[in-house]
Amino acid sequence: MNLLEMKNIRKSFGELSVIRDISLSVTRGEVVSIIGPSGSGKSTLLRCATFLETIDSGFISYMGQVAAQEDATGAITYCTHEEMKKIHGYFGLVFQNFNLFPHYSVLKNIMDAPIVVQGRQKSEVREEAMALLEKMGLADKADFYPYQLSGGQQQRVSIVRALAMNPEILFFDEPTSALDPELTIEVLKVIRQLAEEHMTMVIVTHEMQFAAAVSDRVIFMDGGIIVEEGSPEQVISNPEKARTRQFLDMYNNR
């Protein structure tokens, strides 16, 4: 059974068709990277998968539970509020701009949702949060506020915040695009570590070497469609399609 199943997704903003018939399925433990030029629809695809955008047509399910499908007339229907609540527990999303809650300390940023949303025991959540911070080398920052941290530290905290919900799958929307090269490395190290632990992940990124190194599968998107898809060796090292080659050449020669 696929952990995530997206079929024939379409999404347009007004006249602009951003995603044109994309299907994507992810199995447990798989690391999928999505690369491609700006405006190719990569982020929108993640936003559709995480229900920050509603799809115009297609099908989405998590763990075999249908989240969105077309009814007999072709209109999209999303599952009930209760079912959606459950499905929201299956995934986490790490944003480009971190989106930490500035009025909460690092520890509270991590602990609040597990306690408030999942109704878990405070002591148990605290233990888990501290263990995750320890792992990320941020234990000494537990009582800091986001503004006191570097961008790299903030992004690692936001990864911990997502992990504390114990998601089945973690999405990353250009997690290092707001960071300088040095900070990028410390964030990529963390994601690589998660990949080694077989965390299921879908990563939208512009870091080609990184994508090649951690991914089981790479997807190249352009103009709202999947142009090429396969192992990193296939897509990044020996791309078949002219458009993929053109994009990667431009990236390599910058």
User: Which CB sits closer to another protein, 13 or 101?
Assistant: 101
In angstroms, what is the minimal distance from the CB of 245 to another protein? Answer: 35
In angstroms, what is the minimal distance from the CB of 95 to another protein? Answer: 6
In angstroms, what is the minimal distance from the CB of 90 to another protein? Answer: 10
User: Which CB sits closer to another protein, 147 or 182?
Assistant: 147
Sign of CA dihedral 248, 18, 86, 76: negative
In angstroms, what is the minimal distance from the CB of 117 to another protein? Answer: 4
Instruction: Supply φ then ψ for residue 62, to 5 degrees.
Output: -120, 130
User: Which CB sits closer to another protein, 113 or 212?
Assistant: 113
Determine the residue type at 48: C
- Give residues in contact with another protein (CB under 8 A): 50-52, 85, 88-89, 91-93, 95, 97, 99-103, 112-113, 116-118, 145-147, 161-162, 165
What are the tokens at 26? 């992810």
User: Which CB sits closer to another protein, 103 or 254?
Assistant: 103
Instruction: Supply φ then ψ for residue 143, to 5 degrees.
Output: -95, 5
User: Which CB sits closer to another protein, 112 or 229?
Assistant: 112
Tell me how far apart the alpha carbons of residues 200 and 168 are, in angstroms, rounded to a whole number.
7
Tell me how far apart the alpha carbons of residues 169 and 26 are, in angstroms, rounded to a whole number.
9
CB 50 within 8 A of CB 27: no
What are the tokens at 12? 């347009």
The CA-CA-CA angle for residues 192, 196, 199, to 5°, reads: 90
In angstroms, what is the minimal distance from the CB of 42 to another protein? Answer: 17
